[in-house]
Amino acid sequence: MSIETTGMGIVGIVLLMVVVTLATRWGGVYVMSIAPISARVRQFINAMSASVLVALIAPMALTGDVATRVALCATAALMLAVNKPLPAIAVGVVAAALVRQL
């Protein structure tokens, strides 16, 4: 099932995202007021937060052009070396630009 990105569809998409985001910001507080969150559930939630980003990136790396792969490798290398997001993203973007100039 999909939503058209025109007119009311766009309003619906933004509203749904707002509802989901608010539900998560409020949900943890609400759940704790009824019963504490178990360690196992906490681990599942933590692992899911990291996994969704990986699940989004993996096909991008597989199907992207050479510049895409070079950019992702450059960002990964910088993150592993200095662990600073902004320089890592900047180097990734510059790397993609350089490859496309060749």
Question: Rounded distance, CA 66 to CA 84, Å?
Answer: 24
Give the pair of three-digit tokens for residue 34. 């009824």
Q: How far is the CB of 76 from another protein (least distance, A)?
A: 6
- Looking only at residues 63 through 92 of this chain, which bind another protein when binding is defined by CB under 8 A? 64, 67-68, 71-72, 75-76, 79-80, 83, 85-86, 88-89, 92
Angle separating helix axes 39-63 and 66-82, nearest 10 degrees: 140
CA distances from residue 59 to 62, 63, 69 in whole angstroms, order as listed: 5, 6, 11
Identify residues 6-35 at the interface with another protein (CB under 8 A).
9-10, 13-14, 16-18, 20-22, 24-33
Count of positions on this chain that bind another protein (CB under 8 A): 73
54: contact with another protein by CB under 8 A: yes
